Structure 1
Amino acid sequence: MLQRKSPRRRRRRVALTVVGAVAVATAVGWEPYVSPPVDQPTAADAIVVLGGAHDGREEFGLELAEDGYAPQVVFSDPYTARGVGSYGDPDYMSDLCNGTYDFTVTCFVPDPSTTRGEGREIRRLAEEQNWKHVLVVTFRPHVSRSRYILDKCWDGDLTVLASPTELPWWAWTWQYVYQTAGFARAVFEDC
């Protein structure tokens, strides 16, 4: 005669399975999202700040230019095309793009409004302005994916930097999901 597993035993097995799955996902995503290889800044032709949350990346890009790493900063401004959206503040970007600096600052609207669109614009600007080396500023969970996508778009020298942004624990959960989905999509897309 077959014995049925008790509901308590079944719940325990489900709980252990969930804990195991979370542990595996955390381990697999640790390097690309939490501790990706981040480059050190070096002299470049331009600093390109990728769009996203206003998390200090814009200021970090400006600081790099003030420190003499490149003669120009180029901001990706996906907010103008879609309004405020979940991250963007068009007024903030307008102030950055129209500010007065001791170096050149320009902005562009990526098409599409993704890292792939930003990669296309980097390629276009590099061809137009004869760039050989670009510093790219994003935030830590996006470093690996942006490097992967931008390498598909442009064969110049990319130095990918992470802004000094600290994320709360719950944001890391979302970034694991979001960045993994973005990687999965990027695998099947060219630039």
Structure 2
Amino acid sequence: MSSAGVVNGPSPVVRRRRRRRVIWIVVAAILAGAAALAVRPIVRPDLPPLPARADAIVQLGGPGNRRLTALELGREGRAPVVAISVSDEELSVADWCGQGSFRGQPVICFHSEPFTTRGEARSIAEMAQRYGWHSVILVTSTDQATRAELRVGRCFDGSVYVATAHLPWYHWPVQVVYQAAAFVKAYTFQRSC
């Protein structure tokens, strides 16, 4: 206060609170903008039509009816083999993985380290080199389709197509938030294979 009792401006405590509030507003605006940009490719991805035939169908891990979709594409003759990404737990109990077929469809089971989309992309590139694949149809859910195509395309030089499996409505809220954060990571921090 001045000698006349007039306040010269906000106190340091008030200025710090205002500065924090502005920082939080800016951070929230950036996150909201990133989420808005990510919603379109998560909810309604722009995917090219599937080819009549590819070298392999690759089912990525995650929620939804992915395995059923992958096997149905195999039965339609879209590829001679279905590669199925399995978790550690599933690998230990899925005796069909060692048999080379599942419900009459030739399969290859694989487990990626890390068990992430990026890890799966690296595994797909390794299998493509080993088996001579030049095109793959990825099977994932709609929310992951664009990001999976990006990740696999960074590791695999061949053609990448994406088929989407149904994702139950109750998975959507969590998946939209998860995929938005994963998009930011894929486009900023992890730009390589």
Class of the TM-score when normalised by the shorter of the 2 chains: 0.7 to 0.9
Report the CA distance shift for 1:26/1:122 in structure 2 as closer, same or farther (over 3 A).
closer
Picking from 47, 53, 76, the partner of 2:57 is 47
Asked whether the equivalents of residues 71 and 105 of structure 2 are also in contact (C-alpha less than 8 Å), the reply is no
The answer for the alignment partner of 1:12 in structure 2 is none
Asked whether the equivalents of residues 85 and 120 of structure 2 are also in contact (C-alpha less than 8 Å), the reply is yes
| 2:45 is the alignment partner of 1:36 | yes
How far does residue 185 in structure 1 lie from its aligned partner after superposition?
A: 1.9
> For residue 72 of structure 1, what is the amino acid of its counterpart?
V
| CA distance in structure 1 between the aligned counterparts of 2:44 and 2:125, rounded to whole angstroms | 27
| CA distance in structure 2 between the aligned counterparts of 1:47 and 1:41, rounded to whole angstroms | 11
Q: TM-score, normalised to structure 1's length?
A: 0.74
How far does residue 137 in structure 1 lie from its aligned partner after superposition?
A: 0.3
Count of residue pairs brought into register by the alignment: 163
How far does residue 147 in structure 1 lie from its aligned partner after superposition?
A: 1.1
- Structure number with larger C-alpha Rg: 2
Gaps of 5+ in 1: 1-16
Task: Among all aligned residue pairs of Structure 1 and Structure 2, give the percentage whose two residues are the same amino acid.
Answer: 36
Asked whether the equivalents of residues 46 and 135 of structure 1 are also in contact (C-alpha less than 8 Å), the reply is yes
Q: Secondary structure at the match of 1:64?
A: helix
The answer for the alignment partner of 2:18 in structure 1 is none
Gaps of 5+ in 2: 1-24
Q: Deviation per CA, 1:9-62, whole angstroms, max 9, x where unpaired?
A: xxxxxxxx9xxx798677533311110013332210000000012x21101000
RMSD between aligned residues: 2.7
Picking from 65, 70, 76, the partner of 1:67 is 76
Report the CA distance shift for 1:155/1:89 in structure 2 as closer, same or farther (over 3 A).
closer
Q: TM-score, normalised to structure 2's length?
A: 0.73
| CA distance in structure 2 between the aligned counterparts of 1:95 and 1:38, rounded to whole angstroms | 34
| 2:117 is the alignment partner of 1:115 | yes
